[in-house]
Structure 1
Amino acid sequence: MKTRILRALLSAFVPLAASVAASAALAGEVQVAVAANFTAPVQAIAADFEKDTGNKVVASFGATGQFYAQIKNGAPFEVFLAADDSTPAKLDAEGATVPGSRFTYATGALALWSAKDGYVDDKGDVLKKNDFRHIAIANPKAAPYGLAGMQTLDKLGLMEQVKPKIVEGQNISQTQQFVATGNAELGFVALSQIYKNGKITSGSAWIVPGNLHEPIKQDAVILSRGKDNPVAKQFIEYLKGPKAAEVIKSYGYQL
């Protein structure tokens, strides 16, 4: 009797195991280079994507300009989520992408942020007072949010007085860390780094008006290495969908 029961259990288990193995074999992945400002949103979107499709996003985070150099030097990325629209357009023109795959997935916002509550006022007048020792800004040659920060200082006529106090981060993540650790009293960061579901998550901030810098349009594109990977196209289409849109908006981006 026990032997018959065991055989029945085994006969039920073997097809199930085969089915699970087949599903695992069919699952794919895509290598994605992601601008540092989009770290939190893409982590949430990637988790949803894996849950909904069974396929995996393997993301690397950094500065857009640095990724451009890596892509040109043969880095194995298949999709690029940049922090601007000019870098993907440049890769398009150089024949390094899948034609027609580029689109704007988000428009970012810049924020002047301090880890200290009440330090940054809601009009950014703290910049004019100039009583801070250091202000953190991402490398404007590699990070579009760093460029937007410099454009803001120029537009406000504050560059000359603030320039000696600038500490430069390699990317927007390092810039935020300078402020979070107190190495700089304040700094220009991506709003998405300090914002969730309609509010600033810590410290104090001024959301910089869009007329003080060029629009931060962030484009995504399938790179040439991803042209034969169906998961690359699937992820790009998922990024355009309503589920991803809700995540993107929750971090303060516009679509």
Structure 2
Amino acid sequence: MNVRARPFIPAALAVLIGCTAFTSVQADEVQVAVAANFTAPIQAIASDFEKDTGHKLIAAYGATGQFYTQIKNGAPFEVFLAADDTTPERLEKEGDTVPGSRFTYAIGTLALWSAKEGYIDGTDKALLANQYTHLSIANPKAAPYGLAATQVLAKLDLTDKVKNKIVEGQNITQAYQFVSTGNAELGFVALSQIYKNGKVSDGSAWIVPEAMHDPIRQDAVILKKGENNPAAKALADYLKGPKATAIIKSYGYHL
């Protein structure tokens, strides 16, 4: 009978190999689809998440409606941070998520913003004056912040009055860019895009009262592709923890 000899491994080296193997098993990557309005917060959270857990977060940014289509077409996302609660709920009902994993990670705030200092006086006066050439909003069919913007316009009886002035971005990032580059004098954006250290960091804005549109409840969910990935569960848990929630609040979201 042939017996294969096992190579001798010094005890110290054996311990080192064991630790290395353990680390590689524990550290995983998680592919995350992130609503465009949450770009800055998730980038800030990712740094702490990787330091605290060892897992790596790989994010893609875009409109919630577009992500839904991509997920249904087999995109490799494992966690979805949406800009609404209806899209994750829909995916949940269609069997594309890990049961019981959906939760609200933030409640968004809509703002009317101009890159020009003093153009907006903190109220809806500049919007109602209708003296602008272009008004930027995100695509209301794909982006919940765009839908909220149309609800505000309807509430102020401006829908027909400004319809020829609207420039529509594919998502809230593009809506912001139209204003920041001067292609639109003002536009509806996510407060998180212009908010830093407890105040509007650039230009001028009107923070839209929540009563003027449906709540922008932003839900997260672990998708089926992330069911067996420890990093996906770790990220969901981390978003509920004190470090992440402090960052989320610092960008003007409610919890």
What are structure 2's unaligned runs of at least 5 residues? 1-10
* Number of aligned residues: 245
Query: In structure 2, how many angstroms separate the alpha carbons of the residues matched to 1:173 and 1:149?
Result: 14
d(CA) in 2 for partners of 1:74, 1:62: 16
1:35-184, aligned counterparts within 5 Å?
35-184=35-184
1:23 is displaced (CA, Å) by 2.9
Distance 1:102 1:67 in 2: 16
Deviations 1:209-252 (A, max 9, x none): 01110000000000011111111011100001111010000000
SS at match of 1:182: coil
Instruction: Give deviations 1:57-93, integer Å, cap 9, x for gaps.
Output: 1000000000000000000000000000000000011
How much does 1:160 deviate? 1.1
Q: Any idea what SS the aligned residue of 2:30 has? A: strand
Q: Quick check: which one's helix share is greater?
A: 1
Structure 2 counterparts to residues 181-192 of structure 1, below 5 A: 181-192=181-192
1:102-139 C-alpha deviation (Å, 9 max, x unpaired): 00000000000000100112111101111100010000
Note the C-alpha offset of 1:24.
Answer: 4.6
Q: Distance in 2 between matches of 1:88 and 1:13?
A: 47
Q: Is 1:27 aligned to 2:35, yes or no? A: no
| TM norm structure 2 | 0.92
TM-score for both structures, normalised by structure 1:
0.92
* CA contact 2:27–2:231 (8 Å) conserved in 1: no
Question: Which sections of structure 1, spanning at least 5 residues, go unmatched?
Answer: 1-10
- Counterpart AA for 1:226: G
Distance 2:176 2:15 in 1: 51
Output the amino acid matched with 1:89: E
Percent sequence identity is 68
Q: How far, CA to CA, are the matches of 2:197 and 2:16 in structure 1?
A: 41
Q: CA RMSD in A?
A: 1.7
Distance 1:173 1:240 in 2: 25
2:7 corresponds to which residue? none
- In structure 1, what is the Cα distance between the partners aligned to 2:224 and 2:18? 34
* Distance across 2 between alignment mates of 1:105 and 1:39: 14
- The change in CA–CA distance for 1:196 and 1:14 in structure 2 (over 3 A counts) is farther
**Residue of structure 2 equivalent to 1:202:** 202
SS of match in other structure, 1:112:
strand
